[in-house]
Amino acid sequence: MKKKIVIVLIFLGSFAGFSFVNKPAPQFRGRSFKIALLLPFCSGVPEAEFKRKKLAPIQKAALEYYEGILTALDSLEKLGFECNLTVYDTQKDSLTTLRILQKPEIKSVDFIIGPLFKEGVNMLAGFCLQNKIYHLSPLMSVVSSVSTPYLINTNTDISNFDKSITAFWVRDFDKANIYIIHDGKKNMKALAEKLRGNADSINRLHIKILNAVPYLKTEDIISTTERSALLLMLSNDENWVNRQMKNVKDLENFTLMGLESWLDFKSPDFEKWTTSHCLFATAHHVNILNAKGFRELFRKKYYTEPNEYSYKGFDQMLYIGKLYNTYGANWTDHLDETYEAIHNNFGLDQDPVNKQWINTEIKILKLEENGLMQMYR
């Protein structure tokens, strides 16, 4: 692979006014794919400012994500993929990001990865819309402030869990009574309503949203018919979840379903989770067996274990690289093709309102005595 990696460090300073300029879609030159990577490596930040802004974990995440990208490029080399990768340091600063976007050469790239945070992605969205450049949000799903078909989100936001959860329920719980409670947070309430709307549209699932204030009552969820029952609790709040669980009895009569964040609870109720055959909806779960090849490459290259950011960098770069290597200049016509990645699959839909690409794929895990077992996707 003809990898040309150029490290470009942009430091803070005065700059001229910035404006977006229309231009035709960039032309691909042969098989070489030109990528710009915008991440907060924070290399030029003074030490006092670095400590005051607590930039160490941000810098660490950027470096680990970058290492995942470089590992993917090593794998893509074997497929004949050619790219020119230019790396820019945004320093987690909006003015620095604007200065980067002023550089003439960035307007001629084929693809941009970054920045790391919502504000930077929104800033880039306008630039990429005007210059017709596709770009990817690395670590989070972002709803752009402008309607744009050029923004790619491979991270599945919880608001988009509904498609996979509904498909899973149709497959495994179409004869069950399904109950949903949420903690009142905007995103949790929205997900509950989307799930009920999905059920109404296909007219197959039996869903009821329950009132969990002040707490859930057992008799609200135990079916009085011969149907089995499933209870979905939508909350990332450990105290709220545990408070609801204390008031639920007869767990053997239904299946409990929660979210990926529960796996990080400090005091989880494993006994109740196991009794109720607890399921978890997650957008990030690494199957160690499937990740064996990547882990070996990563260890050999960096002498350490990969983490969540490394997996995302690897999966996203491999995904885009394989699309381009297969379809060339027409790679963006195939964004809706499902891709099986290590940490989560990519199944992109185009948002009918914002036009951006969103991932709707998640995994459903089941808690067994010997660990977590993947039940879906």
Render pLDDT for 125-158 as a digit per residue (tens, 0 to 9). 999 999 999 999 999 999 888 999 999 999 999 9
Structure tokens at 190: 């929205």
> Looking at the predicted structure, is the pLDDT value of residue 105 above 50?
yes
What angle separates helix 162-172 from helix 186-202, to the nearest 10 degrees?
Answer: 50
The answer as to whether 48 is a domain residue is yes
Structure tokens at 114: 């970054």
Q: Phi then psi for 261, rounded to 5 degrees?
A: -65, -25
Question: Burial, 252: exposed, middle or buried (Cβ in 10 Å; 0-12, 13-18, 19+)?
Answer: exposed
Q: End of a domain among 282, 302, 336?
A: 282
The answer as to whether 256 is a domain residue is yes
pLDDT band, very low/low/confident/very high, at 371 (cuts 50, 70, 90)? confident
Same domain, 193 and 133: no
Structure tokens at 317: 């770069």
Same domain, 61 and 81: yes
Q: Are 282 and 39 in contact (CB under 8 A)?
A: no
Q: Which residue has the higher pLDDT, 338 or 224?
A: 338
The answer as to whether 172 is a domain residue is yes
CA distance 300 to 307: 15
Query: How high is the mean pLDDT of the chain?
Result: 85
Same domain, 126 and 31: yes
The answer as to whether 374 is a domain residue is no
Q: End of a domain among 231, 255, 282?
A: 282
pLDDT given at position 13 = 34
Same domain, 150 and 163: no
pLDDT given at position 210 = 82
The answer as to whether 66 is a domain residue is yes
Q: Averaged over 310-331, what is the pLDDT?
A: 95
Same domain, 248 and 299: no
Same domain, 188 and 251: yes
pTM for this model (two decimals): 0.86
Same domain, 185 and 312: no
Query: Three-class SS of residue 151?
Result: strand
Same domain, 96 and 177: no
Same domain, 96 and 197: no
CA distance 41 to 328: 31
> Looking at the predicted structure, is the pLDDT value of residue 10 above 50?
no
Q: Which residue has the higher pLDDT, 53 or 313?
A: 313
Tokens 């969103």 identify what position? 358
The answer as to whether 370 is a domain residue is no
Query: What is the helix (H) or strand (E) element at residue 108, kind and residue range?
Result: none
The answer as to whether 371 is a domain residue is no
The answer as to whether 188 is a domain residue is yes
Q: Are 348 and 357 in contact (CB under 8 A)?
A: yes
Q: End of a domain among 282, 314, 329?
A: 282
Q: Averaged over 284-309, what is the pLDDT?
A: 91
Same domain, 106 and 241: no
Same domain, 9 and 151: yes
At a CB cut-off of 8 Å and minimum separation 6, what does 35 contact?
Answer: 83, 84, 85, 86, 109, 110, 111, 112, 113
Same domain, 8 and 38: yes
At a CB cut-off of 8 Å and minimum separation 6, what does 191 contact?
Answer: 158, 159, 161, 162, 182, 234
> Looking at the predicted structure, is the pLDDT value of residue 313 above 70?
yes
Structure tokens at 51: 């400590």
* Total structural domains within the chain: 2
Q: Phi then psi for 55, rounded to 5 degrees?
A: -85, -10
Query: Three-class SS of residue 172?
Result: helix
The enclosing domain of 273 has a CATH number of 3.40.50.2300
Antiparallel, parallel or unpaired: β 363-368 and 371-376: antiparallel
> Looking at the predicted structure, is the pLDDT value of residue 194 above 80?
yes
Q: Which domain holds residue 149?
A: 4-156+290-359
